[in-house]
A and B are shown apart, each in its own frame.
Chain A
Amino acid sequence: MNDLSMRVSRLSFVCATIATLGLAGCSEVGGDVGGDPNRQIGADPFLPAPREYLLPPMHIAKAIGWSKGETPSVPPGMQVHALAIGLEHPRFVYVLPNGDVLVVESNGPKAPINRPKDLIMGWVQNYAGTHAKGGNRITLLRDIGPDGVAKTRTVFLDHLNSPYGVALVGHDFYVANTDALIRYPYEDGQTSITAPGTKLTDLPGGPIDHHWTKSLVASPDGSKLYVGVGSNSNIAENGMVAEYERAAIWEVDRATGAHRIFASGVRNPTGLQFEPQSGKLWAIANERDELGPDLVPDYLTSVRDGGFYGWPYSYYGQHLDPRVMPQRPELVASAIVPDYALSSHVAPLGVTFYTGNNLPAPYHGGAFVGEHGSWDRNPLNGYKVVFVPFSDGRPSGPAQDVVTGFLDSENRARGRPVGVAVDAAGGLLIADDLGDTVWRVTSTGS
């Protein structure tokens, strides 16, 4: 019996040693901590060497929502109110010429299980509250009461298919569903559209539809529509065939529906806007994951006609991604370095240039960016609305935190900012898809 227990304990020791050696091989598990996010903001971000993991760093903010009366925080001299609460996963806000506010309530189509890790990602997203059902509709808000809440609230358009971007040109109202760009007739003052839509063009949708949001903006002259089409994977792991005409900004002719690729290699262009001073197209983009907590910084950039921005082969110009095979050296050689890094994994999902007069003067002319927040970085990054100052049509300084408090003191998520817009009175509107709220930021006393 002694012999047996000795042998069993010897076996346990061997097993434990092997297991320890095995785990030592994955010493990176959860232990890689991100550096100062500020060194990855601006034109020349710090880029560490890429790292690969057995278990990539993951830090998920538990979703708790807002308690009654709680609001995000804004700097002195500004105030924030809920314009509407109880929405169904609001993602994008858009202001019509008469001042009516449209809220696109949406979430992605059900993701297919292609690999075992997709099962795990499903659990992660449930924990983070990103699996909430989207309304698949657009709600119209009008008449702000003394308490800051919109008194009129109607369903503007219903039964959509994971919509994201919307744009009005004259009397044509466009909705970028995840699989098609649809046109609806709109008359000034209308609170609801019942007329059937007309398809202008198909957009890349299923069957995978990994990055499902289709951002949308009309050119200043109204002749073209620009659509941001995200990649169908993190880093082309679903094959390049699945990436056909994706990770690109499309230019769609409004008259014919014909499209061309205006710019490519942009992993997930989640927001498009024309910079008012230069009249140039700018985009925010979500960069790739699983190369470490400080790779790759998401960015804000002007978009050049015909420009290639690296994905999937490289990032920030010629930094090769080791996970892509075969590589395309001739294409990488032409890869453009984005204009302005926003820091890693902040997940910018909304951008708007401030053209109003209500907020303090330093905000005039710059860009507000809604940062949905990280899930694969420790410590958390994003979960706020930042301001990037602009002068002469270019970013002119470090980003500043403007709307914060989406995380509580224990790093639980009360809300997550998405789309941003400027309303008719110059207020800044923020869609919060976790808090199911649209927030409105104005100057104190206005």
Chain B
Amino acid sequence: MSNDNPQSMASVQSPARVHLHPIHPMLAPFPIVCFVGAFVTDLVYWHTAAVQWETFSVWLLSVGMVMAGFAVLAGFIDFVGNRQIHALRPAWLHVLGNVIALVLSLINAFVHSRDGYTAVIPTGLILSTLVVLILMFNAWTGWSMIYRHDVRVSV
């Protein structure tokens, strides 16, 4: 397929794509929104100790992990499938940051599966906060690949 669309000198091809549209950037927002959402509902739980907020958090973390699985798959195909991508320094930082964020979120989902207050305070809230900070770093490295290194699907 890609042979039909000779690469431009400037842009880097994303191997995981549908109809010339890259998949990873489409999937990545789902886990990000879920994990940021869990951070917010954790904050509310911290202030209210009302159980429904903890319930929101654990569902957000669980759905976030499932959607992250799809995003990782597409991202991994991009990373391994194109030498130009894995030659990029931001790409390595992006992979590393996301692996850390997902491992922490998985632990966080287990912490949130405890019963009662200690499902969130203190470990759950700390993990949710860390993950949001790491996700901001990951967004930086991810977008710098697109804006500064021109990773895209060529047209």
A interface residue numbers (CB < 8 A to B):
4, 7-8, 11, 14-15, 18-19, 21-22, 25-26, 52-55, 114-117, 233-239, 290, 312, 321-326
Contact = CB atoms under 8 A, between A and B. Distances in A.
B126 interface: no
Contacts of B92: 7, 11
Given A4-B86, A116-B58, A14 B116 contact: no
B103 A117 contact: no
14 contacts: A4-B83, A7-B86, A8-B80, A14-B99, A18-B99, A18-B103, A26-B107, A116-B58, A116-B62, A117-B58, A323-B117, A323-B118, A324-B116, A326-B49
A290 B50 CA distance: 21
Contact of A325 (B80, B107, B117): B117
Most buried by A among B50, B113, B121: B113
A115 B116 contact: no
A281 to B, nearest CB: 29
B55 to A, nearest CB: 6
Interface string B38-68: 0000000000011110110011001000000
B130 interface: no
B98 to A, nearest CB: 10
Contact of A114 (B55, B80, B95, B103): B55
Contacts of B16: none
B62 A322 contact: no
A322 B50 CA distance: 16
Contact of A22 (B51, B107, B113, B116): B107
Contacts of B95: 11
A322 B99 contact: no
B66 to A, nearest CB: 10
A401 B72 CA distance: 54
A22 B100 CA distance: 9
Contact of B107 (A54, A312, A323): A54
Contacts of B115: 233-237, 290, 323
**SS class of chain B's interface: helix, strand, loop or mixed?**
helix
Contacts of B110: 26, 54-55
A239 B50 contact: yes
Contact of A239 (B51, B80, B99): B51
Nearest to B54: A237
B130 to A, nearest CB: 12
A385 B102 CA distance: 47
A322 B114 CA distance: 12
Contacts of B125: none
> Which of A21, A54, A114, A236 has the most C-beta atoms of chain B within 10 angstroms of its own C-beta?
A54
Nearest to B50: A239
Contact of A19 (B49, B80, B96, B103): B103
B117 A324 contact: yes
Nearest to A3: B87
Nearest to A322: B118
A325 B118 CA distance: 9
B114 A116 contact: no
Contacts of A54: 107, 110-111
Contacts of A236: 115-116
Nearest to A21: B103
Contacts of A116: 58-59, 62, 109, 113
Among B51, B103, B109, B110, residue most surrounded by chain A Cβ atoms (within 10 Å): B51
The 7 nearest A-B residue pairs measured at CB: A323-B116, A325-B117, A54-B110, A237-B115, A22-B103, A239-B51, A116-B62
Given A22-B104, A22-B106, A238-B51, A323 B58 contact: no
A323 B118 CA distance: 5
